[in-house]
């Protein structure tokens, strides 16, 4: 392995850049080349304690600041993200392996979310309730204090920047724990935070989930937690937090999301939707990927032929190349997992219609590159159709009628997103109402409309984000009753 630099990129705690208290480090490896990029701190429980203490110290001044002051600070951070967008995107490309075209979009989403929540600061309003002569009852929304935010590896910058927006706008201070697999853009964001926000308002502690993440979840002074990641980890977080005290925990978790194509659908539009919805352009590493494609039996074969031709035409290449459609899998553990599921699918009787092979020649030789895979003839009850892979593997299966499609779509423990393609508006509305998913697209995929709630049913999560409900979730409601007739 060729070394890029032996420097350690430090964490941000209380406005200061620090290494881990015990000197531990984690190697940041470029998944496209296998080379060392840099090292960053393996934060300890003591480091988390310091970060929470810094956030607590900063909370009184930040929570009592005029709402307009908090909004101005968030807008200033958004401006800084925009000014450094290409640099930040390149860090994610190098650290995460996804193509530059996608990571550039992430930077734009990050700044847009900061501005969106900056614009909502005056919407944290209470209510008044008639209580009779000489009496008044009103409510206040007040911040929790220190918020812990644990973010995943697939959208490092976008989540590090956008997911601090709502808690900050509501008057909380924050400790962010980035994924140990992709921490570099969050650490560069720390520089921008240091230029735009008071010390301690945002703290960034890197490290392993079982150490730094666990310490944040279990910290008694962190009463509000939010996590994005796997369902198994989300359940563990709820249990771990409950061992310490009562915390408000929200979770955006995994998905095995259905895309349903009825026989009256525009097949070209549906094929394009299936291709985009699977998020092959960041190697399928998205909780919202439409990884189960349900197609009416009468058009199934034609649909699959068109789809596999489109998938075969996707260009795998170095993620920094703007011409690349797909990049590298984030790390070797994830590569092993994806390849294991491809074997599971083949051994379970499904047919691998296209892709699935690892690329090892030429520019791909030292990286973690895998061709996007499409399976046909997948049993809806099989592991390939039931378990989240978080990789570029799509499972297609036929259905007979509406009830069959709905049973397959809902016959799973997840419920994050769903898509339906049809020219029958009544059918579309019926499906949207019946499907067990938190976000439903009709003749569309993947688009997140600003100000609309995103979150899952069943094992796909608790709570909603990206709208005013997220902002309100970072406050506690206090009722005040006043008697003033004497």
pLDDT digits (tens, 9 = 90+) for 234-293: 999 999 999 999 999 999 999 999 999 999 999 999 999 999 999 999 999 999 999 999
Contact, 225 vs 249, CB < 8 A? yes
pLDDT of residue 228: 97
Q: Tell me, what DSSP letter sits at residue 8?
A: B
219, 53 in Cβ contact below 8 A? no
From residue 150, alpha-carbon distances to 76, 108, 172, 175 in Å are 23, 21, 16, 9
φ, ψ (nearest 5 deg) of residue 253:
-115, -165
Q: Give the Cα separation of 229 and 252 in Å (integer).
A: 7
In 164-220 the beta strands, taken as DSSP E runs, fall at: 173-177, 202-204
Specify whether the CB–CB gap between 468 and 169 falls below 8 A: no
CB atoms within 10 A of CB 353: 19
Enter the tokens of residue 482: 């006043």
C-alpha–C-alpha distance, residues 24 and 8, integer Å: 10
pLDDT of residue 86: 96
Instruction: Check: CB of residue 162 under 8 Å from CB of residue 105.
Output: no
Q: How many CA within 13 A on the CB side of residue 427?
A: 18
- Predicted local distance difference test score (pLDDT) of residue 286: 93
The alpha carbon of residue 359 and the mean position of all alpha carbons in its chain are separated, in whole angstroms, by 27
Task: Report pLDDT for 485.
Answer: 82
**Residues annotated as catalytic (active site), given as ranges:** 252, 287
Residue with tokens 């705690």: 13
Calpha distance 372→384 (Å, rounded):
15
Instruction: Give dist(CA 171, CA 192) in Å, integer.
Output: 19
Q: Can you list the residues of the chain whose pLDDT is less than 70?
A: 1-6, 486
- Give the pLDDT confidence score for residue 6 in this predicted structure: 60
CA–CA distance, 401 with 45 (Å, rounded to integer): 54
Residues 6+ apart with CB under 8 A from 294: 258, 259, 260, 261, 396, 397, 398, 399, 405, 408, 409
**Could you read off the pLDDT of 220-234 as tens digits, one per residue?**
999 999 999 999 999
| SS3 state of residue 377 | coil
């Amino acid at each position: 392995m060729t070394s890029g630099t032996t420097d350690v990129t430090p964490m941000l705690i209380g406005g200061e850049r620090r290494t881990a208290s015990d000197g531990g480090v984690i190697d940041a490896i470029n998944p496209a080349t296998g080379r060392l990029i840099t090292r960053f701190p393996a934060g300890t429980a003591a480091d988390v304690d310091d970060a929470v203490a810094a956030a607590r110290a900063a909370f009184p001044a930040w929570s009592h600041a005029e709402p307009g002051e908090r909004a101005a600070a968030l807008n200033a951070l958004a401006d800084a993200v925009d000014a450094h967008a290409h640099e930040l995107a390149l860090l994610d490309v190098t650290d995460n392996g996804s193509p530059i075209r996608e990571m550039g979009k992430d930077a734009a989403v990050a700044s847009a979310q900061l501005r969106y929540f900056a614009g909502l600061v005056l919407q944290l309003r209470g209510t008044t309730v008639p209580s009779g002569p000489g009496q008044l009852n009103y409510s206040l929304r007040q911040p929790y204090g220190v918020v812990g935010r644990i973010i995943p590896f697939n959208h490092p910058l976008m989540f590090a920047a956008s997911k601090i927006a709502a808690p900050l706008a509501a008057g909380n201070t924050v400790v962010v724990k980035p994924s140990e697999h992709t921490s570099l853009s969050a650490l560069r964001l720390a520089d921008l935070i240091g230029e735009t926000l008071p010390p301690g308002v945002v703290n960034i502690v890197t490290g392993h989930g079982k150490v730094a993440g666990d310490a944040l979840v279990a910290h008694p002074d962190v009463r509000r937690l939010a996590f994005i990641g796997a369902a198994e980890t989300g359940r563990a977080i709820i249990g771990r937090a409950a061992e310490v005290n009562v915390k408000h925990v929200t979770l955006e978790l995994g998905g095995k999301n259905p895309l349903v194509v009825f026989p009256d659908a525009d097949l070209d539009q549906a094929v394009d939707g299936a291709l985009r919805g699977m998020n092959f352009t960041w190697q399928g590493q998205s909780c919202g990927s439409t990884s189960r494609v349900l197609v009416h039996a009468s058009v199934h074969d034609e649909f699959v032929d068109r789809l596999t031709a489109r998938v075969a035409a996707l260009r795998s290449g170095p993620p920094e190349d703007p011409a690349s459609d797909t990049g590298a899998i984030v790390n070797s553990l994830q590569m092993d997992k994806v390849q294991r599921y491809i074997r599971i699918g083949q051994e379970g009787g499904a047919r691998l219609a296209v892709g699935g092979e690892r690329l090892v020649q030429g520019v791909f030789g030292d990286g973690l590159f895998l061709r996007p895979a499409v399976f046909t003839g997948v049993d809806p009850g099989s592991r390939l159709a039931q378990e989240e892979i978080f990789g570029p593997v799509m499972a297609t299966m036929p259905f007979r009628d509406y009830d069959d499609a709905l049973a397959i779509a809902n016959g799973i423990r997840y419920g994050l997103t769903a898509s339906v393609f049809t020219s029958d508006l009544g059918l579309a509305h019926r499906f949207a109402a019946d499907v067990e998913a938190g976000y439903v697209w009709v003749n569309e995929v993947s688009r997140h409309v600003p100000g609309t709630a995103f979150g899952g049913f069943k094992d796909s999560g608790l709570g909603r984000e990206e709208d005013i409900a997220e902002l309100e979730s970072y406050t506690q409601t206090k009722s005040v009753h006043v008697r003033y007739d004497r």
